[in-house]
Chains A and B, each alone.
Chain A
């Protein structure tokens, strides 16, 4: 009985964590034994100490809040433009004919390739980072919204018209919910790109933010702070993903494919 309960627990909750915890333990042991130079990788405990120091002197919150603000502002601007363009081009064919080719051309430029130009335009101020994040987020939102709208079941739309729905009702009751699974996929991609863009933008040109924290620490060989910054990004990435999953669970409850995630 006891054994089966333990194996049940091990099979359920513990298994996904076994590998990271094991690696962490090995890492700490290697650092403690002196096999791993702190210039290559600091011990996990050193990283924790660095985190504690940054948190207690207020540095951490300053950088965190700046990075968050950039990420969210850029995401809000780029995400809503991408979403609206996707809706527009999905619902109205003429709009798509007019705009889609241009959008696809811009989309194929890696947005990080624009960094030199963006620095020339905006300097290393906030606008540059927000601009890059917005640009990076725009395309996954656009492409997936368009794809979602395109794949709305024509039979349902026809049914909606026969049952007397007006254009607005058709949009709210059929177009939008029908496209939502795809839109949320776009949202998830966009959140990933948001962090990626921000890291790169902040490491190249910034005087605040998590990316700057990491680059600055590199100058002073503070590997513990560098590792901590990387962990922060991992944490935020996970957080963004959890938010997307939460929205999927909430908004796609009707869809059997999303009922058990």
Chain B
């Protein structure tokens, strides 16, 4: 493993149209190896489309996507996706869900992956008897078992209750730190973005409207003043009423508070 195991993802002038509707206009985004980038924006802003493009589930209508310098064609084989709904196969036991699509001796690996998400004891259960949070953990184990270089997270915690969500955020962060994959998280929860990401990108009107680094030390604390300031500044920027300049000022205020 070691550093640099993650994939590098570059979007150049990427646009995506559905019929005559522009989901994305011109997105430029470079995600470094092992970086954790959060994409935020109002619902319907195209952030999920961006993720589906990175997964290779959709093709861009203009521009190109590079994975480790190579243009992406078809499915992105270096990537695994965690969807908002866990999308476990209800007719396969937890263990078989985790090992889906693996060949050879996969059982020990599946058990290990389940252990990492704390669900080794549920290996023989049907997905139907798990709670929403447990299902997402299984989905996380399934995503990580093949050691992907790029993990795409499509609002995976959106449907969970607040406490479970905090647990899951810790788990994702911990596994990301251990495995050093590149992560792209789509979320509408600014709090979550600040908690996890190295960098937060705001998508507005189909383009990147804001690109803020988060330099808070990990593990991050929600009660922290710098944390709260940053969340607040980003929220105000999203909700409008502020020009880019003002937003930039308040964002840098957040930065300073952190430095103190």
Q: Measuring CB to CB, which residues of chain A are less than 8 angstroms from any residue of chain B?
A: 153, 155-156, 158-165, 169, 173-174, 177-178, 180, 252-256
Q: Which of B75, B91, B92, B93 contacts A161 (CB 8 A)?
A: B75
- Contacting A at CB under 8 A, from B97-133, are 100-101, 126-128
Closest partner residue, chain A, to B152 (CB atom): A162
* Inter-chain contacts of B142 with A (CB < 8 A): 163
Known: A162-B81, A173-B89. 10 other contacts (CB 8 A): A155-B83, A158-B57, A158-B87, A160-B100, A161-B75, A162-B57, A163-B142, A169-B101, A178-B91, A254-B90
* Inter-chain contacts of A253 with B (CB < 8 A): 126
* Inter-chain contacts of A162 with B (CB < 8 A): 55, 57, 75, 79-81
Which of A158, A163, A165, A178 has most B Cβ within 10 Å? A163
How long is the Cα–Cα vector from A162 to B82 in the complex, in angstroms? Answer: 10
How long is the Cα–Cα vector from A164 to B129 in the complex, in angstroms? Answer: 26
* Any A CB within 8 A of the CB of B12: no
CB of A203 to closest CB in B, whole Å? 42
Q: In the complex the two chains form, is A165's CB within 8 Å of B91's CB?
A: no
How long is the Cα–Cα vector from A177 to B90 in the complex, in angstroms? Answer: 9
Q: In the complex the two chains form, is A163's CB within 8 Å of B80's CB?
A: yes
Q: In the complex the two chains form, is B92's CB within 8 Å of A159's CB?
A: no
User: Given A155-B83, A163-B80, A173-B89, does the pair A254, B128 have CB atoms closer than 8 Å?
Assistant: yes
7 contacts between A and B (CB under 8 A): A156-B87, A161-B57, A162-B55, A162-B80, A173-B92, A177-B91, A254-B128
Q: Which of A153, A155, A163 contacts B101 (CB 8 A)?
A: A163
How long is the Cα–Cα vector from A255 to B127 in the complex, in angstroms? Answer: 10
